[in-house]
Amino acid sequence: MSMSIVQFAAEGEEHLRELPMPAYLYAVIALALFALGLAVLWFFRGTAAKLGQPGRGHGHDAHGHGSENGHH
């Protein structure tokens, strides 16, 4: 039985599948995707600060509470 396992393992090595592209291209694609994600992040870098500021004339004070009478 151990002889058939060795023979099966030896046959399995002969049927290797080739990669669809060279191995270094996987790293290049991963680096390009990372750079694209960084560019998107950089594009929206100030959005949270702009959306987090209370607008004027909305009846809210600096803490986001109504400022009609000044009490909590």
Taking only the tens place, the pLDDT of each residue in 10-54 is 665 567 889 999 999 999 999 999 999 999 999 998 887 888 777
Domain ranges of the chain: 21-52
Distance CA 12, CA 9 (A): 5
Q: What is the largest CA-CA distance in the chain?
A: 90
Q: Which two tokens stand for residue 64?
A: 């986001």
Whether 62 contacts 54, CB under 8 Å: yes
Predicted pLDDT at 36: 98
Distance CA 62, CA 55 (A): 10
Distance CA 19, CA 43 (A): 35
Predicted pLDDT at 13: 57
